[in-house]
């Protein structure tokens, strides 16, 4: 059995212990919206979830379990490999293998990851995957099968949203993911167990919003994901390896002129068990113009955001810290939410 390498414990990863409720009154937490894609009412519930939470869980999603299990198995093989082998797939540029360092601006986390470029297409070999000594084609095939199925489900969700919003073109969101130049990426995060930390919690991935249109996450049954509620408190998301969790991205928030909310989220490391998450980030082409959709706005409604291209926003996000409000520099004077 190969020992899984662990990043060293650093104080910058720590966050204070959870505060106790001294009033002894039970704190009522909201319930994560659950969307059953097989039900006719899913359109209405999807829009409500995007407005109220910016986050929801999807069941009866249609993604074959064999694709999920295969990719998880292949990913665990990689992260269980010797560090020297994994480092051949790095350092990230931004694609490749990374360990602890998140971006170029000083963010750290108790995490190892693989970030893969989806623009290469199924017929091109991803250079990151070439480090797999046994059978790199098997991992590439697992990624392709999984991403193709998840992308199909994601486009279905975006088209259901467009239907419920009464948009004339139901592919107004999904066409950006289906475009050959779509700047979508795929990330696999591995959070090793951290038994050294008991009295405090270890930040696996710091608080942030996702800049793309939409992100779709699936993880194993280890807890750790938390979302930030409107009252400023963090809510733990119960894990469910058979379902997907969906985040509204910053770009979708802009396109709906703030109707949909891009929610801040983070991951806290587990002291006993490892966590593996696989995330599809649905992004538009680099030259795509992002702005509130005129067809969604009332006649007297002011635009809360300036128009920008995805390239401009991506560049701005790349030069920011994880926890920064990346949209603030693109807000108009009419946006008083900040």
The residues carrying an active-site annotation are: 275
The CB-side HSE value for 329 (13 A sphere, CA atoms) comes to 11
Find the Cα–Cα–Cα–Cα dihedral 209, 56, 279, 71, rounded to 10°: 170
Give 120-129 contacts, CB < 8 A, sequence gap 24+.
Answer: 122/148, 126/95, 128/89, 128/95, 128/96, 128/97, 129/89
Contacts of 168 (CB under 8 A, 6+ apart): 295
Angle CA 264–79–129, to nearest 5: 95
CB distance 91 to 112 below 8 Å: no
* Beta strands at 55-59 and 234-236: parallel, antiparallel or unpaired: unpaired
CB distance 215 to 30 below 8 Å: no
Rg of the chain over Cα atoms, rounded to whole angstroms, equals 20
CB distance 186 to 280 below 8 Å: yes
Contacts of 312 (CB under 8 A, 6+ apart): none
CA 303 to chain CA centroid, nearest Å: 26
Count how many residues are written for the chain: 338
CB distance 98 to 83 below 8 Å: no
Give the three-class secondary structure for 287: coil
- Give bridge partners of residue 189 from the DSSP assignment: 113, 277
CA 295 to chain CA centroid, nearest Å: 28
Question: Which tokens belong to 260?
Answer: 């949909």
């Amino acid at each position: 059995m190969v020992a899984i390498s662990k990043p060293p414990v650093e104080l910058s990863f720590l966050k204070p212990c959870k505060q106790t409720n001294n009033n002894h009154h039970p704190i009522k937490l909201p319930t994560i919206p659950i969307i059953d894609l097989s039900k006719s009412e899913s359109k209405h519930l999807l829009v409500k979830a995007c407005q109220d939470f910016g986050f929801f869980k999807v069941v009866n999603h249609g993604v074959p379990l064999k694709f999920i299990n295969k990719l998880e198995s292949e990913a665990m093989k990689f992260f269980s490999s010797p560090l020297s082998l994994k480092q051949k797939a790095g350092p990230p540029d931004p694609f490749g293998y990374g360990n602890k360092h998140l971006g170029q601006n000083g963010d750290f986390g108790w995490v190892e990851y693989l970030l893969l470029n989806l623009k290469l297409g199924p017929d091109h070999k991803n250079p990151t995957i070439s480090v797999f000594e046994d059978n790199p084609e098997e991992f590439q095939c697992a990624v392709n099968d999984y991403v193709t199925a998840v992308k199909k489900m994601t486009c279905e969700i975006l088209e259901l949203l467009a239907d419920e919003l009464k948009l004339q073109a139901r592919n107004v969101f999904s066409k950006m993911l289906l475009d050959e130049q779509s700047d979508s990426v795929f990330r696999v995060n591995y959070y090793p167990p951290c038994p050294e930390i008991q009295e405090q919690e270890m930040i696996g991935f710091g608080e942030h919003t996702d800049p793309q249109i939409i992100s779709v996450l699936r993880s194993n049954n280890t807890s750790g994901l938390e979302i930030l509620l409107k009252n400023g408190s963090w809510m733990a998301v119960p894990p469910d390896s058979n379902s997907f969790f969906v985040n509204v991205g910053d770009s979708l928030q802009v396109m709906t002129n703030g109707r949909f909310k891009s929610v801040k989220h983070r991951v806290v490391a587990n002291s006993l068990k490892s966590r593996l998450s696989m995330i599809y980030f649905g992004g538009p082409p680099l030259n795509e113009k992002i702005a509130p959709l005129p067809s969604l706005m009332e006649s007297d409604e002011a635009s809360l955001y300036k128009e920008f291209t995805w390239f401009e926003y991506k560049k701005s996000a790349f030069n920011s810290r994880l926890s920064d409000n990346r949209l603030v520099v693109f807000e108009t004077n009419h946006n008083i939410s900040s």
